[in-house]
Structure 1
């Protein structure tokens, strides 16, 4: 499925030069796609590779917590994946997620001015910071 995406076919369109994305081990390694090291039957991971994987895992956990916080605040994001059938659906979904992120950040700033926080639960879940 990934090989059929715009990202796989035309990464330069979506990822600026000298930038990259983090992904899990299901994705292929590219200069623009950083994935964990994998051990094989004949080649175990080195200590440095295990350490790298542990740090990468911590980053991915933070990202998952951020997604969880957004889905908790905006319930419409929970079923969004099920609604994408066409390229038009995909574009609408991207704009929908962008709007939710913008609103989320606006809410955080508004709450900071008022000295309140409805996102404290999300901060605790994410280990202290989102």
Structure 2
């Protein structure tokens, strides 16, 4: 999503005019595909476990953060166990239960504070690596 600022941990798609370069456009398409899959996974989890729609945990200490992380991990483990038993087609029903706007959780207020000097270079390296991968893959 181009609304995010590039950082060491967040590699958003390119904005115009950089998005018009063929290598960047291919990279952006791949990133967008992964983002959609990720949103579908979050939608399936939130549809199955209502507690994940608004995890009501105050995170004031490391222990609170660990608790919230473990809660989410347990939901993921249980979800995967149920998918193993019921099959993948059930996940689609849960994805449809979560409104599309609820899946993405943006925090743009702190985005500027997360920018690192090497973030643009990291994205450029990822674009070049993906272009090289595509060149090799297309030759096979």
Q: Deviations over 1:61-99 (max 9, x none)?
A: 11001000000000011111x533313222111000100
- Structure 2 gaps of 5+ residues are 98-140
Instruction: Specify which of 111, 115, 125 is matched with residue 86 of structure 2.
Output: 111
Give CA-to-partner distance per residue, 1:2-35, whole Å, 9 cap, x none. xxxxxxxxxxxxxxxxxxxxx86524333x6533
Structure 1: state its 5+ residue gaps: 1-22, 126-130
Using the size of structure 1 for normalisation, the TM-score is 0.58
| Larger helix percent | 2
Aligned residues: 95
Show the counterpart of 1:56.
31
Q: Which has the higher contact order (CA 8 A, sep 6+)?
A: 2
Instruction: Provide the rounded CA distance (Å) in 2 between the counterparts of 1:38 and 1:108.
Output: 38
Q: Which residue of 1 aligns with 2:59?
A: 85
Q: Is residue 66 of structure 2 the alignment partner of residue 94 of structure 1?
A: no
The root-mean-square deviation of aligned C-alpha atoms, in Å, is 3.0
Distance 1:110 1:84, change over 3 A: same
